[in-house]
Amino acid sequence: MDQYKILNNGVKMPVLGLGVYKSGEDTKQAVLDALAAGYRHIDTATLYKNEALVGEAIRESGIPREEIFITTKLWNDDMRSGKQMEAFEQSLKLLGTDYVDLYLIHWPVSSALESSWKVLEQIYKEGRARAIGVSNCHMEHLMRVMAVATVVPAVNQVECHPYLSQKSLRTFCNNVSITMEAWSPLGRGNVLSDPVIGQIAKKHGKTPAQVVLRWELQENWIVIPKSVHKERIVENSQIFDFELDKEDMAKIDSLNQDRHFGTSPDDFENKQW
């Protein structure tokens, strides 16, 4: 299996990244451990308040900047207040870089969705983001963005794991060449004790986390599992040396319950974020 996907603008995006939501003070070491384990993609956001630690780790690793794919995201408040460009510039400053590889609208804030997309397009055209995309967008949000877009979003990052397989959204995105990226690809740990996954893990001599991530890769998702523990960071990267067969894939597919462990895009505006 290829370790990269080619986005709709030709940019190569590693299919495995490290998620750093709630990694706190451990972020720097987690990123260093991930880079040492071969990860070349880090997923952060303004919300996570750790862009500076991500930037420090990348510089300290000695790996050339252009070999590492950095994603960060525009936060809701900065959309509502019309400070999208300032927020982007602050992210660059904190990361200590003059471009990001992927800049995402974190949530489809209704009052500022189209206007924010226009700012992302400007950033893209200036070459300060190699690709731009969205997160937590359902079909209706994507239709709104695409109605005003001159650049089609490259990526839609949404919650996905065996209990939330997102089939219809994925079909829609495939049809309009938007690459799907799975957040909470381990269901925040909640899917790992499922007996079906345990059985398949045993069959392949792999761990439940590796089976779940491999299922997502074979379903064409980009995955960004989070951990701050070196052994788990390494474990989560060892997913390219085995393959799930049709029967395994069908068994995991059948676990879908359309169940969110995080916030659903249908409720987030009620949360007053």
What is the set of active-site residues?
Answer: 48
- Mapped onto helix, strand or coil, the DSSP state of residue 267 is coil
Cα-to-chain-centroid distance, residue 39? 14
Smallest separation (angstroms) from ligand NAD to the CB of 83: 20
CB of 107 to ligand NAD, least distance (A): 7
Q: Across-strand partners of 6?
A: 12
Q: How far apart are the C-alpha atoms of 68 and 134, rounded to whole Å?
A: 20
Query: Is residue 34 exposed (0-12), middle (13-18) or buried (19+ Cβ within 10 Å)?
Result: buried
In the complex, what is the shortest distance from the CB of residue 191 to ligand NAD, in angstroms, rounded to a whole number? 8
Instruction: Using CB under 6 A, list all residues that contact ligand NAD.
Output: 19-21, 43, 106, 135-136, 157, 183-189, 192, 209, 224-227, 232, 235-236, 262
- Would you list the DSSP string of 13-58? EESB-EE-TT-GGGHHHHHHHHHHTT--EEE--GGGT-HHHHHHHH
Q: Name the minimum Å distance from CB 243 to ligand NAD.
A: 19
* Number of residue whose CB is nearest ligand NAD: 19
* Smaller CB separation from ligand NAD, 150 or 193: 193
Beta carbons within 8 Å of 116's beta carbon, 6+ residues apart? 74, 79, 84, 105, 109
Q: For residues 218 and 238, which CB has a smaller minimum distance to ligand NAD in the complex?
A: 238
